[in-house]
Amino acid sequence: MNNFLASPTVTNPQDSFAITFAPLSVSEIYELADDPGNGAIVMMSGTVRNQTEGKPVSSLEYQAYEPMAIAIFRSIAQQVRQQWQDVNKVIIHHRIGHLTIGEISVLVAVGCPHRGEAFAACQYAMDTLKYNAPIWKKEHNIVIDEATGEKTIVGTWVKLSECC
């Protein structure tokens, strides 16, 4: 059994976690991470790119097991606070549904007094989310038949930790 959720997770009321079909807003996430005690807010934005490993991509589709994903987000925030006690806010929002090239799929933000801690905590949160959250993506690749030049879209589901 994955012991990632073995201990009860205490939620900090200043944090924000979401799985949503709605487009994600950089300014909204920044505002949620803002705090008078912050000397830094570090935000990571994941976007849909037009290729993966040299293969053309037309779009992505995300699905999540929402209750467990939110529990993982809360646990990540708790772990962040254990390593970097000065962290004021942890924000983790992930989008699900069909996303096109350039759309934001995930926003992670950490606010704390010092930039070094903010960078480290944000990277830790993003990396941990990627490997532990029950979120899957379907990559819609453009396949071109060499003989006819005909384009076909082929989709493949992968867990986030398996794709990058």
Check the CA dihedral 107-81-135-57 and report its sign.
positive
pLDDT tens digit string along 107-147? 999 999 999 999 999 999 999 999 999 999 999 888 887 88
Residue recorded with tokens 């994600």: 24
- Give the pLDDT confidence score for residue 67 in this predicted structure: 96
Q: What is the pTM of this model?
A: 0.86
Q: Give the Cβ contact number of residue 146 at 10 Å.
A: 7
3-class SS of residue 157: strand
pLDDT tens digit string along 61-77? 999 999 999 999 999 99
pLDDT tens digit string along 66-112? 999 999 999 999 999 999 999 999 999 999 999 999 999 999 999 99
For 12-47+64-135, CATH number out of 3.90.1170.40, 3.40.50.20, 2.30.290.10, 3.40.50.300 equals 3.90.1170.40
